């Protein structure tokens, strides 16, 4: 095995090609909302309208994305991701034209809601790694860590690129370039058919002759929200997302209060950079101990380091000290996300991995929205310094949920070992024997 575990991943034929396509397709995920806010607020003069439009798109994504992922699992990534990306691209272009030519406000909501079909390319990439590395838990851990680092990189570069394009070129440039990147990346990603996991329909046809698969088939038809361990795990993603959302809003407000609002993006980029580096380092390290226990330890570390921004602001009031604290705080988020995503993979029934990953991302996005709202309320009513208590509280909730899940998982096998009851004998058969 090579000394660098990441070199083993990209030694797989086709892995580099689908990773590059996925990277291009994933970069716009951090661009669209920022571009929409800049474009709408500049043309209509209302941040409230811009925020409402982006919130509507997020709500629509929370509803539509799991259904899109289920179609991906059933019919294959290439057959579903390409038309879904084209529909989302048309929605973004419609938003651009409606803003440009002064269409009624309701058209902005309808256009941005159409972008909810954007395929979860991060989830599809994780599904490919799980398919290619099946049975190799060490390599899957490295692949999940790499994907988390890519997520952080895209969310770090996306908003910066969007703001630069909208400011340097024209207000619609961020949305237009984002559409081009999305469609190009999805087409390149989907073209790599050799690494694509087989669709669920193909697996059903292959296993139809085996009657022992009936239980798995019935499990594959019920909602993933009823899968064992998934509800608590998804609520944990909600709490983790609240950490990210509140941290972003409170940091922007604090930088504005200090008279350095333009520096807020750079300060938040440090947090994402710390998470990106930590994700790569964590992926290179060999995991030790049960996955559930590692998740609890990572969540505990995240809850501990989230106190650093609060202490930095309360003790020093310095933006530089806050930047260092956010860099350190970011180093605990990636390992927590890596272990949580790996748990989600294990909780998801076979053949529905894209849907499971999308539900996790949907929970994360919902948490970001809730955290942003909670952080904004705290800043307005309690002050910017006290606002940093919101990510601390959210991180503590994530820790409690991960601990509860680990305890439930550790006790569950004992209940499984109970002997199965025999059927009662028919009335006409004597029980004397």
Per-10-residue mean pLDDT of the chain, 433 residues long, equals 70 85 85 79 74 77 81 83 91 90 87 87 82 79 80 74 79 88 91 80 48 41 64 84 81 78 72 80 74 85 91 86 88 83 77 73 77 78 85 90 72 46 52 38
Residue 221 covered by a domain: no
Look up residue 407 and give its two tokens.
């305890």
Do the Cβ atoms of 18 and 35 come closer than 8 Å? no
In this structure, are 148 and 252 located in the same domain?
A: no
Number of Cβ within 10 Å of residue 366's Cβ equals 20
Q: Residue 219: what pLDDT?
A: 44
pLDDT at residue 415, rounded to an integer? 43
Q: Are 155 and 334 in contact (CB under 8 A)?
A: no
Same domain, 233 and 190: no
Q: How far apart are alpha carbons 65 and 61 in whole angstroms?
A: 5
Q: Are residues 89 and 178 in the same domain?
A: yes
CA 4 vs CA 10, 123, 137, 281: distances in Å? 11, 24, 16, 11
Q: Does 383 share its domain with 251?
A: yes
Residue 88 lies in a domain: yes
Decide if 205 is inside a domain. Answer: no
Q: Is residue 44 part of a domain?
A: yes
Domain holding 85, by residue range, is 15-198
Whether 316 and 388 have beta carbons less than 8 Å apart is answered as: no
Single out the residue of 105, 120, 118, 119 nearest to residue 53, CA to CA.
Answer: 105
- Do 65 and 148 reside in the same domain of the chain? yes
- Shared domain for 368 and 280, answered yes or no, is yes
Residues 301 and 186 occupy one common structural domain: no
417 domain-assigned? no
Query: Which candidate, 272, 10, 20, places its Cα nearest to that of 151?
Result: 272
CATH number, domain with residue 338 = 1.20.1250.20
Cα-based angle 207, 209, 212 (whole degrees, multiple of 5): 75
| Residue 340, domain member (yes or no) | yes
pLDDT at 3: 65
307 and 248 in a common domain? yes
Is 153 part of a structural domain of the chain?
yes
Structural domains counted in the chain: 2
CB–CB of 328/302 below 8 Å?
A: no
User: What's the confidence (pLDDT) of residue 180?
Assistant: 93
Q: Are residues 186 and 42 in the same domain?
A: yes
Question: Do residues 352 and 220 make contact, with C-beta atoms less than 8 angstroms apart?
Answer: yes
């Amino acid at each position: 095995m090579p000394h660098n575990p990441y070199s083993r991943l990209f030694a797989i034929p086709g892995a580099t090609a689908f990773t590059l396509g996925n990277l291009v397709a994933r970069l716009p995920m951090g661009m669209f909302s920022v571009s929409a806010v800049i474009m709408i607020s500049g043309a209509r003069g209302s941040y409230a309208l811009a925020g409402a439009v982006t919130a509507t798109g997020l709500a629509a994504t929370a509803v539509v994305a799991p259904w899109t992922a289920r179609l991906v699992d059933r019919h294959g990534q290439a057959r579903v991701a390409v038309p879904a990306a084209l529909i989302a691209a048309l929605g973004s272009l419609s938003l651009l034209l409606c803003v440009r030519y002064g269409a009624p406000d309701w058209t902005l909501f309808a256009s941005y809601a159409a972008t909810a079909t954007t395929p979860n390319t991060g989830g599809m990439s994780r599904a490919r790694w799980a398919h290619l590395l099946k049975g190799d838990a060490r390599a899957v851990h490295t692949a999940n860590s790499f994907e988390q680092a890519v997520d952080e990189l895209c969310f770090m570069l996306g908003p910066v690129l969007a703001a630069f394009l909208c400011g340097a070129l024209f207000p619609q440039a961020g949305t237009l370039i984002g559409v081009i990147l999305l469609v190009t990346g999805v087409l390149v990603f989907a073209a790599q058919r050799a690494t694509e996991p087989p669709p669920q329909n193909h697996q059903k046809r292959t296993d139809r002759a085996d009657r022992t698969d009936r239980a798995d088939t019935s499990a594959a038809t019920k909602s993933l929200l009823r899968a064992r361990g998934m509800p608590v795990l998804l609520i944990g993603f909600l709490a983790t997302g609240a950490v990210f959302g509140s941290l972003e809003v409170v940091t922007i407000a604090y930088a504005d209060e200090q008279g350095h609002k333009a520096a807020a993006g750079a300060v938040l980029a440090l947090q994402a950079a710390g998470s990106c580096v930590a994700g790569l380092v964590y992926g290179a390290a060999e995991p030790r101990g049960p996955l559930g226990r590692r998740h609890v330890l990572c969540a505990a570390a995240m809850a501990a380091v989230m106190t650093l921004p609060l202490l930095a602001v309360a003790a020093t009031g310095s933006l530089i000290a806050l930047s260092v604290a956010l860099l350190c705080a970011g180093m605990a988020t990636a390992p927590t996300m890596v272990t949580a995503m790996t748990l989600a993979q294990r909780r998801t029934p076979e053949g529905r991995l894209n849907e499971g990953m999308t539900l996790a991302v949907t929970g994360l996005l919902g948490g970001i929205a809730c955290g942003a709202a909670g952080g904004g309320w705290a800043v307005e009513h309690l002050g910017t310094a006290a606002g940093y208590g919101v990510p601390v509280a959210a991180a503590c909730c994530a820790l409690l949920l991960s601990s509860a899940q680990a305890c439930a998982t550790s006790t569950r096998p004992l209940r499984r070992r109970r002997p199965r009851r025999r059927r009662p004998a028919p009335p006409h058969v004597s029980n004397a024997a």
